[in-house]
Amino acid sequence: MDAGQIVRIARQARKMTLAELGQCCGYSPAQLSRYERGKTPLTDITLLRTFVDVLGISPEALGLASPCEGSGPIRLPISVEPGFLPLDGHSVAASAGGEDDPVRRRSLLIGAGLAVPAALLAKVEEALAVLPAPKAAASASEVASLLGQARLRFDTGDLAAFLRGLPGLLSAGHDVLDRALGDERHLALLAGCYDLASGALLKVGRLQASRITADRAATYATLSGDPVAQAMAARSCGIVLRHQGHRELAEQVMYAAATRLDNSGLRTAAAANTLAQILCTSAYNAAQAGDRDRAIELIAEAARAARTVPHELPAANRFAVTPAQVALYRVGVHWALGEPGAAMRAGQGLHPAQFPTPERRARLLTDLARVWAQADNPSRAIGALLAAHGHARAEVRDRAGIRGLAIELVRRHPTSTGADRLALVLAGT
């Protein structure tokens, strides 16, 4: 019995409609129906935990660690040829039919192979509670340089290096601000540090830490009075809210940010680019909420806004919103709406060379992998994930949703081309 069937049985036992469940977790009834019927793989760990809380399902039944299991490795089901699959220096027995004992329906170590160690994430979360003292007094220009280095690590997909340097970056940013309280430039700079931190923490599945850093980015951006910093922070808040299941609220936050920025009268390259980014993200949020008309309207508006973005942008912007970037978001919009055919058409002509950083190139390929999986073409999906890993391994091994998709593909389609290689990628070998 797969996760979708378990959710359906639990929902029906509680006499809940799809609409009622959707109100609790922020998904449309149509999307929940696709999950329950197995039309869309149910791999989003945040959503699975929401089902645990709302429906009273045991975490183990949905392939999650129970709260008392600590930080030990979590095993997920996999179907392989008879024998043993070496993972992280160990051997894990696998059955020919993939039908393990239901109590131990796991054979792929999700804890093994992560590019970002759990101990490193724990240190980052400790730093968010109590920042370490700065090693030395830094100037604003030095903090800006540190932020540029952090952004480079983010863009190259080296999330482990990014997170190792994050406590020092935040400590230096606060030190500069503490020595010049109220300085608007320093406030905007610190907001940028927290904004980038929120994106990285979300990638590695640290939702609560991502929410904390997004909220801090919004606070410092508001105090700075910088409309671009405020809009970027609002975008991060909206993305986290969507992941927490608050899709309507996420859309409201995004819409308000876009309106404020558009009404600010600011006509810089950074402002134009940020507005296009917000519109792209808002379109995706609307699609996740099942609002097709709104999603299509917003992505069309984003395409128009992108045409006003110059090629050269200030370093503070994560990436330039080019027509290719908008097309990639359009792929995601149609995937979220459950329209793989339209997503494939939107992605025609896209190729990695159109995207300037390894992180963006990997993002293209992981988004296409989701579409191929939705279209029931596991070999193409696996091939796209392997290609994405070649550009930025953390995009496959550490992003919770993509890692879950990869595990599901290996489990369900063990004989597909590349499945054995993908299993080794997940194991970190």
The residues of the chain scoring below 70 in pLDDT are 1, 23-24, 26, 53, 60, 65-115, 311-319, 429
Packing angle, helices 184-203 and 207-224, rounded to 10:
160
DSSP annotation of 132 reads P
Partners of 108 in the beta sheet? 76
pLDDT at 280: 93
Q: Are 382 and 373 in contact (CB under 8 A)?
A: no
pLDDT at 89: 29
Q: Which two tokens stand for residue 363?
A: 């993002």
pLDDT at 187: 95
Partners of 76 in the beta sheet? 108
Total-model pTM: 0.71
pLDDT at 328: 96
Report the alpha-carbon distance of residue 5 to residue 62 in Å, rounded: 10
Indicate left, alpha or beta for 314 from its phi (over 0: left) and psi (-120 to 50: alpha). beta
pLDDT digits (tens, 9 = 90+) for 376-417: 999 999 999 999 999 999 899 888 789 889 988 998 899 999
Q: Which residue has the tokens 């190729």?
A: 351
Q: How many CB atoms lie within 10 A of CB 185?
A: 14
Report the alpha-carbon distance of residue 396 to residue 385 in Å, rounded: 7
Report the alpha-carbon distance of residue 317 to residue 268 in Å, rounded: 12
Q: How many CB atoms lie within 10 A of CB 95?
A: 13
Of 427, 405, 398, 419, nearest to 157 by C-alpha is: 398
Report the alpha-carbon distance of residue 400 to residue 114 in Å, rounded: 10
Secondary structure (H, E, C), 335-371: HHCCCHHHHHHHHCCCCHHHCCCHHHHHHHHHHHHHH
Cα radius of gyration rounded to whole Å, the chain = 21
pLDDT at 4: 85
Q: Are 172 and 193 in contact (CB under 8 A)?
A: no
pLDDT at 355: 92
